[in-house]
């Protein structure tokens, strides 16, 4: 399973949870969607939402052509969770042609819970 990960030179993962997701994304997304990850990009696009902007953590292009945007968080209790979740839901409502997911990464980056909107 080959995955091409593109990380802009000026930017690195902003959290250990994002780093853990990137490491296991191919397997997680294959388990969920039954299609291999052709390409995985980190913070590839910023969406203009009504009254706000939103940058998903990852965009995965699957081998079957589906495009999956993923927001990664460590906990539902962490600061900024509600804001990120509401932006994710708004982006999903405005762009239903894509698949939108939230991934909660558990302790030590070893537990993953993927929620499809």
Which runs of E-coded beta strand occur in 1-96? 4-6, 37-42, 47-49, 52-54, 58-62, 67-73
Per-residue pLDDT tens over the stretch 13-41: 888 899 889 999 999 999 999 999 999 99
The Cα 58–Cα 105 span in angstroms is: 14
List, in order, residues 6 or more apart from 107 with CB less than 8 Å away: none
DSSP assignments along 31-58, one per residue: HHHSS-EEEEEES---EEETTEEE--SE
Per-residue pLDDT tens over the stretch 34-68: 999 999 999 999 999 998 999 999 999 999 999 99
Where do the domains of the chain lie, and which CATH numbers do they carry? Answer: 4-116 (3.40.1350)
* Residue 103, number of CB atoms within 10 A of its CB: 23
Its pTM surpasses 0.85: yes
């Amino acid at each position: 399973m080959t995955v091409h990960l593109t990380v802009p030179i000026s930017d690195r993962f902003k959290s250990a949870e994002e780093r853990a997701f990137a490491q296991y994304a191919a397997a997680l997304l294959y388990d969920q969607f039954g299609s291999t990850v052709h390409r995985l990009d980190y913070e590839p696009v910023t969406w203009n939402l009504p009254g706000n902007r939103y940058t998903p953590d990852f965009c995965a292009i699957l081998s079957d052509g589906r495009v999956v945007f993923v927001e990664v968080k460590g906990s539902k209790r962490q600061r900024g969770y509600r804001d990120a979740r509401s932006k994710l839901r708004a982006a999903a409502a405005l762009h239903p042609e894509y698949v939108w997911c939230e991934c909660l990464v558990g302790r030590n980056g070893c537990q993953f819970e993927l929620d499809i909107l």
